[in-house]
Amino acid sequence: MTNQFPPIILASKSPRRQELLTLMGIDFRVVLKEVDESYPEGLTPPEIARYISEKKAKAFDELINDEIVITADTIVVINGGILGKPENDNHASEILSTLSGSMHEVITAVTLLKNDRLYSFHEVSKVFFKPITKDQIRHYIKVGNPMDKAGAYGIQEWIGLIAIERIDGSYTNVVGLPTHRLYQELCSFI
């Protein structure tokens, strides 16, 4: 199927999001803008993800050629607390130990912006980790790439393959972009 969408800007340096859009057959170009990802206190986790995603989109206030800008923000939530990207190996180990034997939620908010139209949505996936050992955690930190990921893991990497028992919700949402919903929303947005 040929690309049916107007020109698209993906405002994300995530190689996983870029790969997912490519696999969807969507033509896009990547444009990055630095955005402060802080948020006001008192927001729920879905509101936080939406707030940051919309903040990223609003950085594109001088759009040209009627392009659609896609921004996204993914957060990992366990027991009401947000697990961000790890700061170092020890922090990654702490995060993965917290996830071990537990269920957590991955929330990805996506924002579409075209001219003065802004639309956001979010998806929630529940991820169930089996108990993992300290040796498994050390191995993943050594061979994987936990530092650039919320929750310190990639579902498509070694730790995801050996530790995730099941997912309730979208797999691609956990990767970083709920593709089924994005396609549906893009079709409605244009």
Return the number of other C-beta atoms located less than 10 Å from residue 180's C-beta: 13
> In angstroms, rounded to a whole number, what is the distance separating the alpha carbons of residues 64 and 51?
24
Stronger pLDDT, 147 or 103, i.e. the higher one: 103
> In angstroms, rounded to a whole number, what is the distance separating the alpha carbons of residues 134 and 140?
10
Q: Please state the rounded mean pLDDT for residues 124-149.
A: 94
Helix boundaries (H) for the chain: 15-23, 45-58, 89-99, 134-143, 158-163, 171-175, 179-189
User: pTM of this prediction?
Assistant: 0.91
Percent of the chain with pLDDT strictly greater than 90: 78
Give the model's pLDDT for residue 61: 75
Q: Please state the rounded mean pLDDT for residues 104-116.
A: 94
> In angstroms, rounded to a whole number, what is the distance separating the alpha carbons of residues 143 and 140?
5
Give the model's pLDDT for residue 190: 84
Residue 142 pLDDT exceeds 70: yes
Domains in the chain, ordered, with CATH?
Answer: 8-189 (3.90.950.10)
CA 67 to chain CA centroid, nearest Å: 22
CB contact at 8 A, 181 and 26: no
Give the model's pLDDT for residue 64: 62
Of 66, 73, 116, 135, which residue is the catalytic one?
73
Give the model's pLDDT for residue 6: 86
73 is an active site residue: yes
